[in-house]
Amino acid sequence: MHEVFQSQPSDVFVASFMKSGTTWLKALAFAVMHRDKYTLSSHPLLKLNPHDCVPIIEHHYATRDEQYLETLPSPRVLGTHVSYSMLPDSIKASTNKIVYICREPKDVLVSLWHMVTKFEWFNKPFPFAKAFELFCEGRMPYGPVWDHVLEYYTKSIHNPEKIMILKYEEMSKDPIDSVVRMANFIGCPFSEDEIKNGVVEKIVELCSFNKLKDLDVNKNGAGNVPNNYFFRKAVVGDWQNYMTPEMAHKLDEITKEKLSDSTFTY
Ligand SMILES: Nc1ncnc2c1ncn2[C@@H]1O[C@H](COP(=O)(O)OS(=O)(=O)O)[C@@H](OP(=O)(O)O)[C@H]1O
C-alpha cells in the first residue's frame, strides 16, 4: 500500500485509532463534503453504514481490490486507522486534508473489548482483564493508543492546514461546533443561508447515533462486519461500568506518563 496508493490533492482522510468515533466522523465528513449531491430524504446514509460510504484504505489493499479506490468520484472521503508514520508517502506529500478523531483511552478500551467479544472466531471467553492488560502494554493491531494520537497531534501542530484533531468528548458535547469547524477545515464551509436554514443541525441529526444505529442490521458494514457492531452505547465515561478504581488509576497513570512530554490532553 505504501508505494502504490496515490492520494489526490482533494482527498479528505478520516483517521483514527479503532473505537474512537470513526464511524460517526466518517458519516459527518461524508455528509458535509457531499451535501450538494444528495437530498436529506434520499441520502445514502439512510441506508448504508458510514464505513460503506467511506472506505478504509488499508482494507482495500489487504484484499487486493485497491483499484476500487481509484473508481471513487473526486473529492474522495477515505478512512484509515494507520498511524501517521505508516501512512503512504503520497498522503503525506499531498495537499489533502486529514481529520483525526481521538477518544479518552478508558472508553476506547471498553468499546474495543465489546467489539472483540462479538466476533464468532473468538470462540472462547475473552475476559476484560486480559483486554486491559494488552491495551496497557500497547499490544494492539495499530500499536499503542497514545503513540497513535501523539503522532497525529504533533504533526497537526507543525502543519495545522493539513491535520485537524477532533475529540469524541467535545463532539458529544457540541456536535454543531465540531461540524462547523470541520467544514471550514476541509474547505467546504457552510454559507450563511445554510446556517440560517438549519443545514448543520440536519446533518448532525442524520449522523446521530440514534439514526445510524437503526440502519437495517442485515446489511453488512465494512468488511462484512454486521452494522450493529459499530453502534453500542455512545456514552462518555462508560468505562466506569467496567473498570475497578485500581484499573482506572493504572490506565490514567500510563496515559499521564505517555503524554507528559506533549501539550496534548484528552
Ligand atoms: N453517530 C455516533 N455518535 C456517537 N457515537 C457513535 C456514533 N456511531 C458510533 N458511535 C460509537 O463509537 C464507538 C465505535 O467507534 P468507531 O466508530 O471508531 O469503531 S471502529 O473503529 O470504526 O470499529 C462506539 O462506542 P461505544 O458505544 O462506547 O462502544 C459506538 O457506539
pLDDT tens, N- to C-terminus, the chain (266 residues): 666 788 999 999 999 999 999 999 999 999 999 999 999 889 999 988 899 899 999 877 666 676 788 888 889 999 999 999 999 999 999 999 999 999 999 999 999 999 888 876 666 778 999 999 999 999 999 999 999 999 999 999 999 999 999 999 999 999 999 999 999 999 999 999 999 999 999 999 999 999 999 876 555 555 567 777 899 999 999 999 999 999 999 999 999 999 999 999 99
Report the pLDDT value the prediction gives residue 265, as an integer from 0 to 100: 97
Closest CA relative to residue 103, chosen from 28, 161, 24: 24
90 Cα to the center of ligand 1, angstroms: 29
d(CA 154, CA 140): 21
Pocket test for ligand 1, best of 53, 59, 231 (most atoms within 8 A of CB): 231
d(CA 68, CA 80): 15
User: Is 43 in the active site?
Assistant: no
Q: Which of 43, 51, 60, 81 is catalytic?
A: 81
Pocket-forming residues, ligand 1, beta carbon under 6 Å: 16, 18-24, 107, 111, 114, 207-209, 212, 230-234, 238
Report the pLDDT value the prediction gives residue 21, as an integer from 0 to 100: 98
Closest-CA residue, ligand 1 atom 3, reads 209
d(CA 258, CA 255): 5
Ligand 1 nearest-atom number relative to CA 51: 22
Report the pLDDT value the prediction gives residue 67, as an integer from 0 to 100: 77
Report the pLDDT value the prediction gives residue 122, as an integer from 0 to 100: 65
Measured on CA atoms in the order 186, 42, 81, 93, is the torsion positive or negative?
A: negative
pTM of the model: 0.95
Report the pLDDT value the prediction gives residue 44, as an integer from 0 to 100: 92
Q: How far is CA 178 from CA 29, 44, 182, in A?
A: 11, 22, 6
d(CA 223, CA 201): 30
Alpha-carbon Rg for the chain in angstroms: 18
Report the pLDDT value the prediction gives residue 107, as an integer from 0 to 100: 98
Closest-CA residue, ligand 1 atom 16, reads 19
